[in-house]
Structure 1
Amino acid sequence: MKTIPRRIVTGLRNGKSIIEKDEIVRNVSEHFPGLIISDIWSTDTTPTGFEEKIIENTAFPNTPKNGSYFRYVQIPPDKDLGIETPKGQPHPLMHQTNTLDYIVILSGEIYLILDQEETLLQAGDIVIQRGTNHAWSNKSDSPCIQLAILIDAKKEE
């Protein structure tokens, strides 16, 4: 699987559908060695228009108010990041966002770590992450690639 994805964007010309862009994604960052994040598309309204929004590519997402992110993520093994979680301690990359996330594991495997439990995810598995405290832990020897769509949401009281 490619580390940086190709993106095809469709459009209209003279009332006919066309390929407007066919390119390797340029909005790519590596916040930790091997942790590749490509923010493919973003919106800042719902309903949305079709124009492209350029967003700052951050390790932890900052979804626009009333908007969404479409994100491609390659997560290296924890050992390659130098991540160790002492017994009884939370994972060091634990975080929470005010988003509803649709996540698809494309390749590899990864653990979804929550406050009180964890589960192993493999290629083809889908996670609906609803604003919970979570972390991703790759205990394997190979990178995990996931696609995520993050949608701005109201935080539950």
Structure 2
Amino acid sequence: MAHEGKLPQVNRFITTHDSNGKAVFSDALPEESTMKGLANTSPVMGFALSYTTSTFPVDMAGDKDVTAYKKYLSDPPGLSVSNGTVLRHVDFEPGVTSAMHRTVSLDYGILLEGQIEAVLDSGEARLMKRGDVCVQRGTMHAWRNPSPTEWARMVFVLQTCEPVEFKGEKVGEDLGTVHDTVRPST
């Protein structure tokens, strides 16, 4: 990706049990979580699908959750997964602002590196610093990296929810002008 070396490599360490019932690290997948850029985009944003689940509660028997995640690595889900969760790292180029969008999910957005402004469609914004969390509850929002020189990285945990109701109307997913490579949620 275009920003290699600007932020540290994302690694994921998946645990499991050995034949004696002891906790060990799984070798089912490489530990490196691959950061991918969106096709034909400028400015650049990088995405790593660091884990997903597709059931609730999660069924880990026989590594069913790992198998489901492997499927999503070759055929990525939309922003969220019905009856499951998504763990995603997102890198933001200096000065980038994402499209204004809404998911039908409860999202925890945690800033790991740099600074990000959480921008709402009302015009309100909050500057997030390393370690800050934004709890996104089905609202229209965008993410802006205000730095002209420094990359920012967030990690998002998305869990599907019932559609939000406003004045008696259910409000669904709205990807705004999110790039063509971002698919609707499954």
Q: How does 1:8-157 map to 2 (within 5 A)?
A: 8-14=13-19, 15-21=21-27, 23-26=31-34, 28-31=35-38, 32=41, 34-50=44-60, 51-52=65-66, 53=69, 54-55=71-72, 56-57=75-76, 61-78=78-95, 93-116=99-122, 117-140=124-147, 141-157=149-165
Q: Unaligned regions of 5+ residues in structure 1, if any?
A: 84-91
Q: Matches of 1:125 and 1:48 in 2, distance apart?
A: 27
Structure (1 or 2) with the greater helix fraction: 2
- 3-state SS of paired residue (1:62): coil
Question: What residue identity is the alignment partner of 1:71?
Answer: R
Equivalenced residue count is: 142
Structure (1 or 2) with the greater strand fraction: 1
User: What fraction of aligned residue pairs are identical, expressed as a percent?
Assistant: 28
Q: Unaligned regions of 5+ residues in structure 2, if any?
A: 1-6, 166-186
Deviation of 1:62 after TM superposition, in Å, equals 2.8
- Asked if 2 retains the 8 angstrom alpha-carbon contact of 1:29 and 1:57, the reply is no
Measured on the aligned residues, the alpha-carbon RMSD in Å equals 1.8
- Asked if 1 retains the 8 angstrom alpha-carbon contact of 2:10 and 2:32, the reply is yes
Structure 1 residues 57 and 29 mapped into 2: Cα distance closer, same or farther (>3 Å)? farther
TM-score relative to the length of structure 1: 0.82
Q: Matches of 1:98 and 1:134 in 2, distance apart?
A: 12
Cα deviation digits, residues 87-116 of structure 1 (max 9, x gap) = xxxxx7101000100111111001111011
TM-score relative to the length of structure 2: 0.70
